[in-house]
Amino acid sequence: MSEEKIIKHAEKAVHIAEDRNKAWQHKIKELAEEIAIIVFAVSITLAFHNWNDSRNERRMEKEFLEGIKDDLNHDANEISDVSVLEKTVSYYDKSWQQMSKGKIDAAYIDTNSFQLANTSFLTFDNSRYEGFKSSGYLRLIENKVLAKHLTYLYTDDIPFEVSADQMFYTERREGYNMYIGAKAPIDAKGVVHVSKIINDPAVRYHIMWYGGYLHERIYHKKRLAERMRKMAAEIEQELKK
């Protein structure tokens, strides 16, 4: 029943109550009929609105989960591509091996010295999650275990790895600037001749320490990508229900 009709029945009930020409027995009967109609109409209207709201919430939940699943798979593929880092790690490993054996290939060390300042920060798109969260819609996810896993991934797991990347590259850059960039000769082509200061303990430490740390960052990036794919698969199972 429309709102206009409910108002008309309410007005009719008021007129019945104010009608002094009717016996109270008739008023009670007619009022009871009008009130019953109003209560029934309001109940039906509320039930419809609740059903419609619930349907819209389920639609919003589904659209969000489908979108976040695609985001996770896309970002996992981006994060697991460590080809750039692997080239950098290879330089560190080979340089350290040459230093350890005392057989320095100056041409290799110097020509590829740019790897000492190369970076590959972990990035991901969290806009969909943050938008859904800031709107207070995370409550719409019916599977609370799924919601808990998703929240942990986006508020703890991924941010931790992002912070670890930022800390690593900041410290590495500072060490490079202080112990290598400011000391190694640079030729007209911009090549930093690290081989000229390769026996400096600070340089040796820098290459040994950050080379090992790069291996760790690659490992953690791949593990994070696995966890993101696992979360996407968990969402996929939920969407199939």
pLDDT tens per residue, range 93-115: 999 999 999 999 999 999 999 99
114 phi-psi bin (left φ>0, alpha ψ -120 to 50, beta other): alpha
Q: Measure the CA angle with vertex 182, ends 181 and 188; round to 5°.
A: 70
Domain with 222, as residue range(s), is: 3-240
Is 158's pLDDT higher than 60? yes
For the stretch 63-82, pLDDT in tens is: 999 999 999 999 999 998 88
- pLDDT score for 210: 95
State residue 9's pLDDT score: 46
3-class SS at 185?
coil
Percent of the chain with pLDDT over 70: 78
The DSSP bridge partners found for residue 192 are: 186
Residue 50: which pLDDT band, with cuts at 50, 70 and 90? low
Give the residue-averaged pLDDT of 38-43. 62
> Quick check: pTM over 0.85?
no
As a whole number of angstroms, the distance between CA 47 and CA 55 comes to 12
Number of domains the chain is built from: 1
